[in-house]
Amino acid sequence: MDYTSADDVKMALGIDNWRKLRKDHYLQLVAMMPDLDKEVRLAVLKQLPEIQKILVKAMSTVRKVHEATLASDEKSQEYGYQGRREARASIIAQLKDDNLDPQTRRYLNDLLVQLSDKDDAKDSEHKRYLDRWMTKTTVGVAAVVMLTGIAIGGKVGLQQGPLRKS
């Protein structure tokens, strides 16, 4: 398709202004770049400051959501640990009773082991959760950097002119 203006590109992306550009649009825009005339490409790339503002805002939003999620997760983790600490303290207090029969003592010791196992399982689950969040955040940041780099690289390439064969 021939794009004669940046407005044509916006129309092809299905947006009416650059602030509505979403991540799937970025990929489509990068794919369109080689097919754009030099002037149209430069007009689109002049929107880069606007695109960068959008990216910064998006990353700020991701950071805030991430921080809120981590705070909520930390609070949830602490409630679980606190409950198990109280149960552990109660069991230990009962184990101090010299009149416990061996079966009850064994049962209470088993409960202590189960509580420790729950703490270990919850800790492992929490680490997997944090790893998933870090992976998603890293992928998001890498995509933003890559797309911005591609756009800037394309702009520099356009300003230097076409490549010549030696």
Which tens digit of pLDDT belongs to each residue from 14-71? Answer: 988 877 877 777 778 777 777 777 788 778 777 766 666 766 777 777 778 778 877 8
Q: Calculate the alpha carbon distances from 37 to 1, 3, 49, 142 in Å.
A: 11, 7, 20, 28
| Residue pair 109/117 in contact by the 8 Å Cβ criterion | no
Bigger pLDDT: 135 vs 103: 103
pLDDT at 157: 47
pLDDT at 52: 65
Q: Is residue 80's pLDDT more than 90?
A: no
Q: Is residue 99's pLDDT more than 80?
A: yes
Question: Per-residue confidence at 156, pLDDT binned at 50, 70, 90?
Answer: very low
Residue range 119-144, pLDDT digits in tens: 888 888 888 887 787 777 777 666 66
Q: Report helix, strand and coil shares of the chain as percent, to nearest 5.
A: 85, 0, 15
Q: Is residue 87's pLDDT more than 70?
A: yes
Bigger pLDDT: 13 vs 59: 13
